[in-house]
Every structure is written in structure tokens, then in C-alpha cells.
Amino acid sequence: MKNIYIILFSILLVACGNSEKKDTNIPETDTHNDEITITKAQFKGEKMAFGTLEEYAFNQIVKVNGMIDVPPHNKSSVTTFIGGYITKTPLLIGDKVKKGQLLVTLENTEFVEIQQNYLEVSEQLSYLKSEFNRQKTLFNEKITSEKNYLKAQSTYKSNLAHYNGLRKKLQMLNINPSSVEQGRISSSINLYAPINGSVTKVNVSNGTYVSPSDVILEIVDIDHIHLELSVFEKDIMKIKKDQKIQFKIPEASDKTYDAEVHLVGTTIDEQTRRVKVHGHVENDKDNFIVGMFVDADIIIDSVKSLGLPTEAVIEVGDDYYVLILEEQDDAEFHLEKIKLELGKQAETNVEILNPAALKNKQIVVKGTSMLLNDSEGGHSH
């Protein structure tokens, strides 16, 4: 009986051993680390595409920021030389105005006093001039004393200076001196637009008193938009006139606009250690608004080199790869993973430093992230 148990136990061990040996002979799958197979239906469904190495321009840039602005002569703050009360404000922010257009009307009794003084001095001037000429003639004929002649001369010239000063003041207040001389005196004055442009600020309303230090309106002429950029001290020696600029307005659009360096500042701000750079916008007819924040790249150098679209490159750990077409049949594409050496990188493409490995190869340039995400946890670069 004991012998029978020994025989059964031996058979069981042999059976287990054969089972383990059979398991180790199960064949592996056809997927290898450097090879990926995808059906043509999947390829089309994921909107994948093949491409080849192409030559791209890779720019060396200096990243800066700044704002949309206009030159100083395209901005105007409207003020008054003598204070007064606002009686007419027909404009609103955004209104377009032409040079010489009425902006506001002010009223003040001081305007009346100035015109009265001018009229009085004007009336006296004619008499004093005649008296001066008479004394001059008498003095030349030795009929009167030099003292009388000099006194008449001094009085006339003093009155003439007062007359000219008041006349100029009236002109600055947009009051016609000839009208005042004819007895037409007004208690109000008008302020007119000094430039063409759009109203950007209105700081008053009817009845407001404004003094000479108050800004009543601001007008901006946006016919010449420019960039006012700030460049760090460490980069300023790289910036030269006529270099190309590419900029975006991140809060308003993803569109890239073109400009060029026009002026480079010659002083450094002591607090920020930055230098102002003035750029001319190539298409300044877009709907830019003064004060918009911009992100800009100043292109200091540009070289052409072989590269690929950024979307074609897959990052796996610390390495970068692309997928090339190894072979295909009626139903499938067989792809091979090739390691890359990357150079300069732009927003939409990247330089390839080992182009020989990809020469004349069909490269997957769209949809690569789907393939390696499934197999190795990689992601599109």
C-alpha cells in the first residue's frame, strides 16, 4: 500500500513539472518597444498624417513686454489758461474730433475784465501815440524840453507793451481782439481740439469749475500706433534698429503681429534696470487700443535648419522621439520609434540635430501623442 502512494505522488510531481514547462513556452506578443503597429482605419480616424523633414527659419530672440502707445505729439491734454465754469460739454469718450472742433465752453467774469482792460488800453494807445509823435516833433524843433519828450515816449511804450500783452492773452483764450475793439465783450470762451483724434478722457461736466492745472479732456490720434517695450539691461546690447519684432496682445487675441525696432533708448531706469525700445507696427490699422499690454519677441538673429513640427515630437522621460513608417500592408502601418537630438525650438517647429536618421523617411507629424500615450506613458512635446 505504501508503494502505491509513492507511485501516485511521483506521477503528480511529473504532471506539475510538465504543466510549468508548458507555460514557459507561451509565445510573446508582436509588440516591441521600438515598433508600433496601427491600422489604417485608426490612422484616419485619429486624423494622423505623414510628413518629412523640412527647412525652417529658427530665430534667436529676446523676450520683452510693453504696451501699445502713440508718440507724444499724437496725444493732447486740453486745459485752460484761465479758470472758469463749464457751460457746454458736447463730447463723450470715444467721440472722434477734428482739429479746430469745439470741445467745451467756459464762463468766468475774469474773461470780461480782461476784455475791458484791453479795450481801455486800446483807446488810450491812439492818444498816447499821437502825444508821443507831437512831443517828438516839438523836441526836434527845440520847442519843448527833452524831459517832456522822454516822458511821452515812456508812457506810450509802456501802454503799447500792456496792449500787446492783453492782445496776446485774448488770442490764447480764443477771443478775437478786433471784436473786442468794436465793443463786443463776451463772458465765455471756447476751447477747440488741437489735433485730430478720439476723446479718451472727459474729466468734467456742466457746472464744473476748472483751474489752469486741471485736464479737461484728453485726445489721442491713433493714426500712428507704436510699441513701447521694456528691455532688461543684460539684453539691451543685442537690440539694434530695424530688427524684426513679433508680438501678441494676450488679453485680446492669439494673433501674432509684426513690427520693427525704430529707436533704442539710451538711458536705464534706475529702479527697474530696463531700457525703453520704440517699435513701429507694420499694420497699425488693426483695432489696437492705446494702453494694451503686449508680449513681444525681438528677433536678433535667424538661421535656417532642418526640423519638424512641434506636434511630431514625443517626449518620453528625458528623451525625445518621432515615429517613422517602416512598412505597410493593405490594413496596417508598421511604425518605428527613432530617438531625436533637438536644437533650437520655435513656437510651431523644432530643429533636428540628427537629420540623417530621418532622411527620406515618412514621419508621423500629427497624432503621435495618442500612440505613445497608450504604450509608454509619453506625451507630445
CATH number for 206: 2.40.50.100
**Whole-angstrom distance, CA of residue 230 vs CA of residue 222:** 21
What is the structure's pLDDT at 285? 59
Residues paired with residue 345 on neighbouring β-strands, in sequence order: 350
Higher pLDDT, 136 or 12: 136
The answer to whether position 12 is within a domain reads no
**Whole-angstrom distance, CA of residue 265 vs CA of residue 285:** 26
**Whole-angstrom distance, CA of residue 221 vs CA of residue 196:** 6
| Residues 124 and 209 reside in one and the same domain | yes
Give residue 239's pLDDT band: very low, low, confident or very high (50, 70, 90): very high
CB contact at 8 A, 35 and 323:
no
| Residues 177 and 309 reside in one and the same domain | no
| Residue-wise pLDDT tens digits, 261-292 | 999 999 999 899 999 999 999 875 567 888 89
Q: Is the pLDDT of residue 29 over 60?
A: no
Q: Is the pLDDT of residue 14 over 80?
A: no
CB contact at 8 A, 230 and 65:
yes
| Residues 166 and 294 reside in one and the same domain | no
For the chain, the distance separating the N- and C-terminal CA atoms, rounded to the nearest angstrom, is: 73
Q: What percent of the chain stands above pLDDT 70?
A: 87
| Residue-wise pLDDT tens digits, 97-156 | 999 999 999 999 999 999 999 999 988 888 888 888 888 888 888 887 888 888 888 898
CATH number for 249: 2.40.30.170
| Section 246-252 average pLDDT | 90
Higher pLDDT, 143 or 13: 143
**Whole-angstrom distance, CA of residue 218 vs CA of residue 197:** 10
Kindly report the average pLDDT of the chain as a whole number: 84
The total number of structural domains that make up the chain: 3
What is the structure's pLDDT at 107? 95
Q: Which of 84, 80, 90 is nearest to 113 (CA)?
A: 84
The answer to whether position 6 is within a domain reads no
| Residues 231 and 292 reside in one and the same domain | yes
The answer to whether position 29 is within a domain reads no
| Residues 115 and 231 reside in one and the same domain | no
| Section 344-368 average pLDDT | 86
| Residue-wise pLDDT tens digits, 174-187 | 999 999 988 899 99
Q: Is the pLDDT of residue 377 over 50?
A: no
**Whole-angstrom distance, CA of residue 33 vs CA of residue 376:** 9
Among residues 172, 197, 220, which one ends one of the domains?
220
| Residues 204 and 85 reside in one and the same domain | yes
Q: Is the pLDDT of residue 381 over 80?
A: no
Q: What does pTM read for this prediction?
A: 0.62
Q: Which of 77, 90, 114, 95 is nearest to 188 (CA)?
A: 114
Among residues 179, 203, 220, which one ends one of the domains?
220
| Residues 288 and 319 reside in one and the same domain | no
- CB burial of 342-372 (b: ≥16 within 10 Å; e: otherwise) equals beeeeeebbbbeebeebeebbbbbbbbbebb
What is the structure's pLDDT at 378? 46
The answer to whether position 14 is within a domain reads no
| Residues 299 and 250 reside in one and the same domain | yes
Residue-number span of the structural domain to which 131 is assigned: 75-220
Helices 146-172 & 109-140, crossing angle to 10 degrees? 150
Q: Is the pLDDT of residue 8 over 80?
A: no
Dihedral angle, C-alpha 348, 351, 357, 359, nearest 10 °: 70
What is the structure's pLDDT at 235? 92
What is the structure's pLDDT at 160? 92
| Residues 213 and 91 reside in one and the same domain | yes
| Residues 80 and 211 reside in one and the same domain | yes
What is the structure's pLDDT at 284? 59
Among residues 191, 220, 249, which one ends one of the domains?
220
| Section 84-102 average pLDDT | 92
Amino acid at 358: L
The answer to whether position 30 is within a domain reads no
Q: Is the pLDDT of residue 241 over 90?
A: yes
| Residues 270 and 310 reside in one and the same domain | no
Q: Is the pLDDT of residue 2 over 50?
A: no
Cell numbers linked to 149: 519828450
What is the structure's pLDDT at 3? 42
| Residues 280 and 324 reside in one and the same domain | no
CB contact at 8 A, 268 and 216:
no
Q: Is the pLDDT of residue 80 over 90?
A: yes
